[in-house]
A and B are shown apart, each in its own frame.
Chain A
Amino acid sequence: MSTITQSMDFVEITLDGRAIRVPEGTSVFDAARMNGTPIPTLCHLQNETPVGVCRLCVVDTGGRVLTASCVRPVEAGMKVVTNSDKVLNARKTVLELLMADHPSPCARQEKSGDCELETLAKAAGVAQPRFAKRTLSRGKDDSSLAIAVDHDACILCDRCIRGCDEIKNNFVLGRMGKGYSAGIAFDLNAPMGDSTCISCGECMVSCPTGALTNKTVLGTSIAAGKDTQGFEAEELLQLPVFKGVSGTFLELNRGAIVKRRFRAGEIICREGEFGSTAFYVLEGKARVSLSAPIAHVKTEGGGKGLFKKLTSSLAARDTDVRDGEARDKTIPIDASVDLAYGNPVAELGPGDLFGEMTCMNFYPRSATVIAETDVVAFEMLRNVLDIMMKNKSFRAQIDQNYRRRALENHLRGVPMFADLSPDFIEHLKGSVELRRYAPGQVIAQQGDTARSFYLVRIGFVKVSETYPGGELVLAYLSRGDYFGEIGLLGGGVRTASCTALDHVEVVRIPGDDFREMVERFPSVRQGLEAVAAERQAANQQRMQTVQSVPIDQFLSQGLMEAQSLLILDLQNCTRCDACVNACADAHDGITRLVREGLRFDQFLVATSCRQCRDPLCMVGCPVGSIRRRNSLEVIIEDWCIGCGLCARNCPYGNINLHPFEVMVEDLERPGRKKAVVKQKATSCDLCTHLKEPSCVYACPHDAAHRVDPRTFFSEMLGGGTK
């Protein structure tokens, strides 16, 4: 504007018969607006370069065709008509065309009643569009945590694109395709949540319709307490992590981030509790620890007198060694540090972020955090965390934190990597990269060239292999687990696909570094090769099993997956519940058997862990304490915090919680101990300590059997009976 006032060259034009003077270079649109004749538009915003694509701002300047006033500078003597029937009718038809394809009321109209298209259409008197509606939907994109995308409501006005490029210089959004099927796309047409979008919100703020709208996050406001302090958008924009974020967008998400003050000794969060927020420590020190006893459920007794003296107790792995138990030295938790198995306590300070898994994936809290000194922290919901995690400087800081503090423990925690020399770990600190993946995103694709080795930092990774006719889940990996070694050690090609199951963050170790590692440290190589061989053997065995059994109900129920099943012959069973009672008697009164389950033919397949094809129980364990042995049986590691998520996840009800009364430190009164009930997850152990499962033994009607399903049902399957 300054150049205009400086030059002071004015041009005289006629606007609807009225002579007006405007500075040279003014657009017809602005000339009309400044003289009290606003012209409707959808694609034009004052802060963006005009593009003239919606054609609503057309005016008659006496030419063969009408002209878009937003892109047309005034010329001396120009006669502009903005309100003739010719102009108004053309505009109305353009609106009617857009309304025909518009999902009215769109998300914006529904939420805030300010869809610009619907408003203009109504003002122009477009009621029911006479043109046919769009037949093929262009789809919705729900992948972003902050912004909902409805491609059907997109009118390709280009405002979001200019907002992303011109205003925020983020260069994520563009037009894709051509003609009627054209649309907006992120990067190479990635889902918004998987794209390089940093959720600055500018596109959404620029959008005139419901194509890009603010996603309301469940419980969008964090309850304000006396120690809570909300933020004004301007205040947040001062912080480096919100650089480049649209102020309007933060305004819309007000309440999704608060600053909280915890007094020394105050509990910030407790293990096992559900939550939806993450914390970022600004000031002070906090202590993170596990209060659950580090032990597993051990059932003893019986022997000769069978279920007379069966008792369950808690035992740690150094006193009660179980087959296939992990020897990890650290317990993975939802923070920037891991806890030592022997002494599960650590300190968090300024710059530490914790509760990320809970916030992003809604898993229970993995540990208890107590303010050691007075602590000031941000508490935020996932949409805000998402924005912060996409911010380059914040990411760099988190990255730095991880390299400095956690990488070494992360590697050393896996016994296999124990021999890595300090200098090599130092070297890795410089070359590893933290990468985030959205749910469903493929990290490594079966058949692709293997280029990296990965350690899981946050979330769950599904390892699966495709075979003609389906997909076989080989494993779920969580924090502390690693993958990618088979491809790198073997033929250089990925043998399985690794997919993010939820919001996942992995530590990527480049292939070259991995190769250097296995060359320099033969013990690491041997360890990795041994595990790789075991994994492959197990995978092959499972794959053969899958492929040798016809795909039918039997398979779909996952029964063949089990090596051992407990079945109840319903023709003999009188529903007397003797089996259930026997189980309870055998396990301290806690039954692990529920006489319900899937039915196959005349058999009720009662609960007993069947080592499923898709072991859903493992997904979400906040501390990664439910794992698979190489025999594929599930084992609950000592650091189970008893949150119960696995029990809820198991579709067959095979995991139960066993309560114990234990003495723990009283968090409210430091230094004192108190008796509390802590739970530990257990699954049916088929009474391995007994000759025969107690339920089978107890059945008075010979209805309960423990069988190998493939032999037992082979006749039926072979015979083709149902």
Chain B
Amino acid sequence: MIFDDLRTIQLRYGFLPKADLEGLSQRTNTPLYQIHSVASFYPHFQLTPPPKADIRVCADMSCHLNGACELRAELETRFAKNGSDDVLIREVSCLGRCDHAPAVSINDEIFTKVTAASAERIARSAIAGEEIPEPHLEHGRVQCASDPYDENARYGVVRKLAETKNWDGVLAELKAAELRGMGGAGFPTSMKWDLVRKQPGTEKYIVCNADESEPGTIKDRFIMTHLPHLVIEGMIVAGLVTGAKRGILYIRHEYHLQEEILGEELRRCYHGGILGKNILGSDLIFDLEIFVSPGGYICGEESALIEAIEGKRAEPRNKPPFPGQAGLWQKPTVINNVETFANVPQILARGVEWFKTQGQAGSRGLKFVGVSGHVTRPGIFEVPMGTPMREVIFRHAGGIRGGRQLKAFAPSGPSSGYLPASMVDVRLDFKALADAGSMLGSGAIVVCDDTTCMLDMTLNAVRFYRNESCGKCVPCRVGSQKMTELLVRWTHGGLTEKQYRADLGLVEELCAAMSLTSICGLGQIVPAPVQSVLKHFREEMDAHVLKGLCPSGICFSASARAGEVQRVGIRP
């Protein structure tokens, strides 16, 4: 496997020396260009010798709202006098620690709630050659309402199915429960499984998408920490129902702890006969392994994720065919989100009726949401589906911190766009949020207080997509860059009405082209933050562009103009 080979080399040298890549090419009979094309694609791989302290400050939504730019600027100042060979300070995309912002990765270890002083201390230890172990955020398991099991009676659903083999029953129950995908798109799970089940052939795969990388999304991290057995059980059930004998859990490489927890749970399953050949003495087979992502938001796109497992550049495929028809190694593949799999044993163990009653206002089930940004108690909360957003933000997350007012919130990271405070009563539900012009997505609620500049937040979101675009198709690769440039221009203000009108027209055309012609969801969703802000915060946009006024004093402050404090969000 090419990633394993590359990791082995990188572990030895800290980067990928050319001579070793040439050796790898000869040994494995892989063309040099293929090695380079993947090694240069994934942020995890380094083609040049790394500095002693590789400091990467998370630049995305929650960290941005929690002073990531100022942190980065301060670190740059602190290390400016120091030899630059030892330290490299740069941005990194969301590290999945949104509830403990700002997060900084130093030599691939992630530190949270970082201050300039603490980051400097850690970096100096790294320069001195000391170990800098990553602190673990979660300690001990939390009992969740979602868990149908006592600690000693887990995997009850698999136990029962191994006897009854009532696969149709499983599909019927999931259909009755109306379980939908929890990764963002909300596709009915039973339909997906049924499609794979009906495909001919015996080689099929179950893939769990645990690559959550959208800014604000941290719920899968929580589920894998506290309910790993439900995720694994859900995957086993999917395998049994569809006839797939192999499962792969694709986890982002920043989730070291969760990788360990899942690994331990897998060993327990194999030991207890839940996984492997002859599951619980039956003739059923299901093997499950963990695949650590070499990095990048695009790997969360299901077909890109499949490409990554195949050892290629994570570039989304043209669809159709969908993974259900031709997925991993072109075989029928079920690919679901962590939370979706975790929901399956809940429904099957407790019944459809239980599942239905968990929701509010006609919604079903429980939902894990991550709340971050300007709230008093950022974190992951298990709430009934259909809960009003107000309750999530103000009751569970403790409301806006520092006694400030709510200005806007993103129901699910940049992809959901920003909704104004006036819409805070919207319920956490597929339909309700879609009707509000947003989406339930992955439940990554990012909250902005009244000091927030919405143009800055739009730019921050678009820049994230620009940075994470795989570059395969033109509208996303070039469009996300041009969209960024247009917004940067707006942050400078000073446009005439005519120029602004022309820009708005151009943005509209670009939004249409991107959402209509991009290959995958990434390029298609780039317009969301822009369009939502133009819809709900139009006055603020106009004030910026035409009058050079930023209500939050971010875009036109003296220090911003002098370039002293560079807002990461408004860097081109």
Binding site for B on A (CB under 8 A): 51-56, 58, 65-66, 68, 71-72, 86, 89-91, 93-94, 97-98, 100-101, 130-132, 135, 155-156, 171-182, 185-189, 196
Contacts and interface: CB of A to CB of B under 8 A. Distances in A.
B517 interface: yes
A174 B34 contact: yes
Interface string B24-48: 0000000111111100110000000
B22 interface: yes
B470 to A, nearest CB: 6
21 contacts: A51-B318, A52-B473, A52-B519, A55-B517, A68-B517, A72-B320, A91-B517, A93-B475, A97-B475, A131-B506, A135-B572, A174-B31, A175-B41, A178-B296, A178-B469, A179-B466, A179-B469, A180-B478, A181-B471, A182-B471, A186-B33
Contacts of A54: 473-474
Contacts of B467: 179
A189 B40 contact: yes
Given A179-B468, A180-B480, A189 B36 contact: yes
B517 A94 contact: yes
Interface stretch (B256-264, B437-445, B508-516): B508-516
Contacts of A188: 18, 21-22, 32-33, 35-36
A175 B35 CA distance: 10
A391 to B, nearest CB: 18
Interface string B506-534: 10011011011111000010000000000
Contacts, number: 144
B413 to A, nearest CB: 19
B36 A55 contact: no
A176 to B, nearest CB: 4
Contacts of A53: 472-474, 519
Nearest to B313: A175
Lowest 5 CB-CB distances: which A-B pairs, in order? Answer: A174-B33, A182-B471, A93-B513, A171-B31, A174-B37
B450 to A, nearest CB: 32
Given A89-B513, A131-B485, A156-B471, A177 B41 contact: yes
Nearest to B484: A180
Contact of B40 (A94, A98, A178): A178
With most chain B CB atoms within 10 A of its CB, the pick from A175, A179, A196 is A179
B36 A174 contact: yes
Contacts of A71: 318
B33 A58 contact: no
Nearest to B482: A131
A179 B40 contact: no
A172 B21 CA distance: 14
Contacts of A132: 482, 485, 489
B352 to A, nearest CB: 30
A118 to B, nearest CB: 15
A91 B482 CA distance: 16
Nearest to A130: B506
B229 interface: no
B36 A179 contact: no
Given A177-B40, A178-B471, A180-B478, A52 B22 contact: no
A55 B22 contact: no
A508 B118 CA distance: 53
A196 B320 CA distance: 36
Given A177-B41, A188-B36, A98 B481 contact: no
Contact of B478 (A72, A91, A100, A185): A100
A460 to B, nearest CB: 24
Contacts of B313: 175
B471 A180 contact: yes
A77 to B, nearest CB: 15
A172 B33 contact: yes
Given A54-B474, A131-B482, A188-B18, A173 B33 contact: yes
A133 to B, nearest CB: 10
Contact of A185 (B36, B477, B481, B506): B36
A182 B477 contact: yes
B359 interface: no
Interface of B: 18, 21-22, 31-37, 40-41, 296, 313, 318, 320, 466-475, 477-482, 485-486, 489, 502, 506, 509-510, 512-513, 515-519, 524, 572
A185 B485 contact: no
Contact of A65 (B34, B470, B472, B524): B524
B466 A180 contact: yes
Contacts of B40: 176-178, 185, 189
Given A66-B516, A131-B506, A97 B37 contact: no
A181 B475 CA distance: 14
Nearest to B511: A93
A54 B473 CA distance: 6
B430 to A, nearest CB: 16
B419 to A, nearest CB: 22
B468 to A, nearest CB: 7
A55 B32 contact: no
Contact of A97 (B21, B33, B41, B482): B482
A54 B474 CA distance: 5
Contacts of B41: 175-178
B32 A196 contact: yes
Nearest to B467: A179
A466 B483 CA distance: 46
Contacts of A72: 318, 320
B33 A93 contact: no
Contacts of B479: 97
B469 A90 contact: no
A185 B519 contact: no
Given A93-B512, A177-B41, A178-B41, A156 B477 contact: yes
B510 A93 contact: yes
Contacts of A181: 471
B471 A130 contact: no
A188 B469 CA distance: 22
Given A65-B524, A172-B32, A178-B471, 19 more contacts: A52-B473, A53-B474, A65-B518, A68-B318, A89-B509, A89-B513, A94-B474, A94-B513, A97-B478, A155-B474, A156-B474, A173-B33, A177-B40, A179-B467, A179-B469, A180-B481, A185-B33, A187-B36, A188-B18
A179 B477 contact: yes
Nearest to B514: A93
With most chain A CB atoms within 10 A of its CB, the pick from B313, B513, B516 is B516
B90 to A, nearest CB: 14
A187 B482 contact: no
Contacts of B572: 135
Nearest to B41: A178
A172 B31 contact: yes
A52 B482 contact: no
B485 A97 contact: no
Nearest to A176: B40
A90 B572 CA distance: 25
Contacts of A172: 31-33
Contacts of B36: 174, 176, 185, 187-189
A449 B246 CA distance: 45
Contacts of A187: 32-33, 36
A488 to B, nearest CB: 18
Contact of B475 (A89, A94, A174, A185): A94
B303 to A, nearest CB: 12
A615 to B, nearest CB: 31
A101 B481 CA distance: 11
A171 B33 contact: yes
B381 to A, nearest CB: 31
A93 B509 contact: yes
A664 B35 CA distance: 60
A383 B66 CA distance: 59
Contacts of A155: 474
A176 B32 CA distance: 12
A335 to B, nearest CB: 32
Contacts of B296: 178
A89 B512 contact: yes
Contacts of A156: 471-472, 474, 477
